Amino acid sequence: MGAVRIRRAALALLALALVYGVAAEVAHGRLPTRVWMGAHFVEDVQLLPTYGSLAEEGAFLVESRILPDSIVVSSRRVLEGLLLGSIAGILLGLATGWAASVQYLADPWVTFFRFTPALALLPLFVVWFGYGESSKVLLIAAGVAVITLLGAHQGVRRVPRVYLDAAAALGAGPGLRFRKIVLPLAFPSIFASVRIAAGLAWVTIVVAELIDARMPSLGYLLALSGAYPRVPTMLIAIATVGALVLAFDLAALLLHARATRWMRRSA
């Protein structure tokens, strides 16, 4: 099933690349190259660059180490934010799902962060944590924590009550019931939330890297290419972020399939 999904995704990406290539060749020399940017005109703008222009720009970004270094820096920030946010979110989600009193205390904070966009939190995190790596990583972690908290909470709440009652009737204490029943049954929901959170972390990285924006970073590369504007650089940065999101998602799927093999054996 996984191989079929990968083949379908590859075919979809190939079709998209083919359509873009044809559109870019047809539009070459026909689209305007003078763009109004609000205060002035910008000359020599490639609105739909051909694959030749993208290859030339990509070669420059790779040879100058701008793109590889940006990938390393942004990936590290995403991994740190994902790890920190997942640990905090999962632990709090397990606590709110298991103890109603904790849920009542956490609900207002979860609601606040769940419906607040990362861009709105940007000034607050700068004031709280200053400029530098801490504010970037913690901004990503805040979004990740909310998603994983909800996943862990729902996973615990979906455990059939009859399982817990049966274990209690056989003399199992709360700790044993939590370890042997709640955690295994909540595990798939937790993993699914981590997978969603990984995608959210890459969405947030663009906002996070506007804090003390500087190279190398993919977020700042996107912002910089949009300010000039330089469409080939912009498209390469977008494609790079998309490829990294797919890579993270595939890794999460493989890890989830390996960690939940017991579900298939018990079916």
* Domain positions in the chain: 1-59, 65-266
Buried b (16+ CB within 10 A) or exposed e, 213-230: eeebbbbbbbbbbeeeeb
Q: In sequence order, what are the residues at sequence separation of 6 or more whose Cβ sits closer than 8 angstroms to the Cβ of residue 118?
A: 139, 142, 143, 203, 204, 207, 208
Nearest to 201 by CA among 236, 239, 244, 235: 244
More confident residue, 81 or 105: 81
Cis peptide before 216 (omega within 30 of 0): yes
pLDDT of residue 265: 47
CB count within 10 Å of CB 72 equals 13
pLDDT tens-digit readout, 196-255: 898 889 888 888 887 777 778 898 888 888 878 889 999 999 999 988 988 888 887 777
pLDDT of residue 131: 83
- DSSP state, 179? I
Q: What is the pTM of this model?
A: 0.82
pLDDT band at 2 (very low <50, low <70, confident <90, very high): low
**Helix/strand/coil for 36:** strand
CATH code 1.20.810.10 for 65-266: no
Mean residue pLDDT across the chain: 84
